[in-house]
Homo-oligomer: A and B are copies of this chain.
Amino acid sequence: MNDESHLRSIIGDFSFFKNLPDTDIDFLLTSAVIRKYSKRAFVFTQGNPAHYFFIIISGWVKAHNMNAKGDQSAVHLLTKGDVLGVDTIFDRGSYLSSAETVSDECQMLEIFSETLKEQARISPELAEKLLGLLSHKIKEMQVSDACSVLGDSSRRLACLLLRLSSWMVGKGGTLKLPYEKSIAALQLGMDQATLSRALTSLSDLSVTSKCREITINNFSRLSEYCCVHCPIPEGHCAGRRIPSEKRPQEN
């Protein structure tokens, strides 16, 4: 399979390209490449000029800022279908955060920023797609902000587990944490030791763990434990599992 048809077969999955006119897709792909990264590779670094934006094809990427002493903040974890760096194109021109892979076999679709910007000027559909994308990103930031004020560390961890398991159906199940616990601790803004203790304390809510395999026996019980304190309104957080009779209606 040649590069061109390989690209096309992959992008069919991604919501970014859904409902975009073929002319837009064709034009964007003229400058697009797929690049592979190993674990702990930097995709880009804060402060550097932003020539590309990225769509994650596989793997997990940590977007973060780092101060002079190496402390990290504003850690967001992104995966398949998520987008990196669009916000730089229309405001800054340099990356505000760094992006570093935290899993093996990360693949990114990389598109030249100027191409995107150019095409957005002549395609209302692309422009609207990007507006939706940025709006969605703002929403996600608000959701993860909300998690960080949920109260104690156990509740914040519970919130993360619920969001990571939002694709799972049924009453409970086992989840493989897609990245290291120390990374999850960064994401939650707590110390690694605190996360470890928080996970232990969740055994009261029948959450058990063995290495990175975390078993949640009762999603709705966990959800009642933390989502009750969450300020995000109904229907905006996929993690929430409070049984439907307890909330008005969900879509």
Chain A positions within 8 Å of B, measured between CB atoms, are: 46-47, 64-69, 71-74, 86-92, 94, 96-97, 120-122, 124, 127-128, 130-132, 134-139, 141-142, 145-146, 148-149, 189, 228-234, 236, 250-251
A91-B136 contact in complex given A74-B142, A96-B236, A142-B65, C-beta closer than 8 Å: yes
A142-B96 contact in complex given A71-B229, A71-B231, A231-B67, C-beta closer than 8 Å: yes
Please tell me if the beta carbons of B74 and A146 are within 8 angstroms of each other in the complex: yes
Please tell me if the beta carbons of A69 and B138 are within 8 angstroms of each other in the complex: no
Please tell me if the beta carbons of A251 and B96 are within 8 angstroms of each other in the complex: no
Q: Which of B128, B136, B189 makes the CB contact (< 8 A) with A120?
A: B128
Q: A91-B136, A134-B134 are in contact. List 13 more A-B contacts (CB 8 A).
A: A46-B233, A68-B251, A71-B149, A87-B138, A87-B139, A90-B132, A90-B135, A91-B135, A91-B139, A96-B233, A127-B127, A127-B128, A148-B148
Please tell me if the beta carbons of B229 and A92 are within 8 angstroms of each other in the complex: no
Report 9 cross-chain contacts, Cβ distance below 8 Å, ordered by A residue. A65-B232, A68-B228, A74-B149, A87-B139, A90-B131, A91-B138, A94-B233, A124-B127, A148-B148
Q: Which residue of B lies closest to A122 (CB)?
A: B124
C-alpha spacing A92/B69, complex, angstroms: 39
Residues of B within 8 A of A149 (CB): 71, 73-74, 189
Q: Which of B47, B69, B145, B229 makes the CB contact (< 8 A) with A67?
A: B229
C-alpha spacing A148/B145, complex, angstroms: 10
